[in-house]
């Protein structure tokens, strides 16, 4: 997600509400606290990007 934010030209602390879309992230495992934090930061920076999280936990 950090690479994606950099590729979009984002700077930490700024909000990019003009960027819209959908991002699906698939993991075989539960998202750890660190990953959840990065996802939350991305969601704050890009509020109009819908994030869909899928994990393999049953």
In residues, how long is the chain? 58
> pLDDT > 70: what percent of the chain?
98
Which has the higher per-residue pLDDT, 53 or 8?
53
Residue 51, CB-side half-sphere exposure with 13 Å CA sphere: 14
pLDDT for the residue 12? 86
* Residue 47 per-residue DSSP state: T
pLDDT digits (tens, 9 = 90+) for 14-42: 999 999 999 999 999 999 999 999 999 99
Count of the separate structural domains present in the chain: 1
Q: Which structure tokens are listed for 56? A: 């393999």
> pLDDT > 90: what percent of the chain?
71
Domain of residue 49 covers 2-55
Residues 6+ apart with CB under 8 A from 1: 25, 38, 39, 42
């Amino acid at each position: 997600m950090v690479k994606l934010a950099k590729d979009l030209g984002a700077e930490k602390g700024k909000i990019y509400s003009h960027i819209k879309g959908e991002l699906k992230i698939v993991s075989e495992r539960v998202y750890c606290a660190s990953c959840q934090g990065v996802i939350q930061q991305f969601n704050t920076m890009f509020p109009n990007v819908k994030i869909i999280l899928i994990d393999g936990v049953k």
